[in-house]
Amino acid sequence: MSWPDGPVLVRTPATSANLGPGFDSLGLALALYDDVEVAVTGGGLSIEVDGEGAEVADRGERHLIVKVLRRAFDVLDGLAETGPGAPLGQPKGLRLRCRNRIPHSRGLGSSSAAIVAGIVAARALHPAGDLLDDAAALRLATDIEGHPDNVAPCLAGGLTIAWTEPGGARLVRLDPQVSGVVAFVPDQHLATERARGLLPETVPHGDAAANAGRAALLIAALTAGPVAGLGADVLLAATEDRLHQDYRAPAMPRSAALVARLREAGVPAVISGAGPTVLAFTTASRVDSMGLEVGNGWHEHPLDVATRGARVVAGGTQVRP
């Protein structure tokens, strides 16, 4: 076995997790993409970053994608030992080029996109890549990220339900029947760790029960709404949350206020992931036509749902569909 001569180019979508009541379980892939090119070289480490995250290009071996590549290569070498080939060890050199469009630390899955990009690129570069199937890739990505709600839709596309059991993370992929969403992205960042730190250890039983019902309703509203005759009022009710958004509101008061204004106007709106981006199941024209004042400091992104997850666009030892 040997490394390929040319680079591999991987495209990964943005994601929005939780979607209101689906805390740490529901995720939606969005048509906003990072492109990551990785090549094995004769020596050294070269990192170029264009767009979001350019300030971390000098992290070297501490760069998230590089760390994921190293770990994935080790996993693939372990799989190769049980197959017909032999382990390759770590490559002598790597060249990494990133074109990042997903905002960082805004609740749109930028770290999950980086993790998935590293795994998919390693799988395409390593001759034993076929031995790491999609289920194993999800388990590895979840081990690195810590939870599966963002990495699942990044890998699979569409709408995903993800959970973890003793054998690792698993997912179910669904096709949402929504025309699109609008992401309201603020200028400020919010670290996921800070947002998680605001959550209580326990919640009232009534709140937990309400969220379970809303999450089930949300799946129905997103996947069978038009067929079942479920209107926007059902989707509005289905996106109600009692487990995380109110607790995190002090860290993102402007986002919480925007969610409240949109919902009062009948627009199903939630905090995207850990925030502070606000995700609305509507169109930008509808928001404008309703005369809603979003305010300054927001970047409005009308987005389609990404029906495909991370994929190899070109190069490597195999091209995944």
Distances (CA, A) of 164 to 25, 53, 92, 161: 9, 30, 35, 11
**Do the Cβ atoms of 48 and 238 come closer than 8 Å?**
no
Has 25 been labeled as part of a binding site? no
**Do the Cβ atoms of 298 and 185 come closer than 8 Å?**
yes
pLDDT of residue 318: 43
Taking the C-alpha atoms of residue 106 and residue 187, their distance in angstroms, rounded to an integer, is 9
pLDDT of residue 55: 84
- Sequence-separated (6 or more) residues with CB below 8 Å from residue 267: 236, 280, 281, 282, 286, 287, 290, 292
Q: What does each of the 321 residues of the chain score in pLDDT, given as a tens digit?
A: 788 888 999 999 999 999 999 999 999 999 999 999 999 999 999 999 999 888 888 889 999 999 999 999 999 999 887 766 678 889 999 999 999 999 999 999 999 999 999 999 999 999 999 999 999 999 999 999 999 999 999 999 999 999 999 999 999 999 998 878 999 999 888 877 777 888 999 999 999 999 999 999 999 999 986 655 667 789 999 999 999 999 999 999 999 999 999 999 999 999 999 999 999 999 888 877 776 777 778 999 999 999 999 999 976 544 333
pLDDT of residue 267: 92
Token pair, residue 33, equals 């993409």
Has 108 been labeled as part of a binding site? yes
Q: Which residue reads 């979001």 in tokens?
A: 52
pLDDT of residue 315: 67
Taking the C-alpha atoms of residue 169 and residue 132, their distance in angstroms, rounded to an integer, is 15
Domain 8-163+306-314: which CATH number of 3.40.50.150, 3.30.230.10, 3.30.43.10, 2.60.40.1930: 3.30.230.10
Fold (topology level) of 181-303: Alpha-Beta Plaits (3.30.70)
pTM reported for the whole predicted model: 0.92
**282 closest CA partner among 184, 153, 156, 154:** 184
Same fold, 8-163+306-314 and 181-303: no
pLDDT of residue 319: 35
**Do the Cβ atoms of 253 and 260 come closer than 8 Å?**
no
Q: Which residue reads 């190293």 in tokens?
A: 70
Has 289 been labeled as part of a binding site? no
Has 110 been labeled as part of a binding site? yes
Could you give the dihedral angle defined by the CA atoms of residues 38, 43, 49 and 53, in that order, rounded to the nearest 10 degrees?
100
Domain regions of the chain by residue span: 8-163+306-314, 181-303
Has 109 been labeled as part of a binding site? yes
pLDDT of residue 227: 57
**Do the Cβ atoms of 133 and 197 come closer than 8 Å?**
no
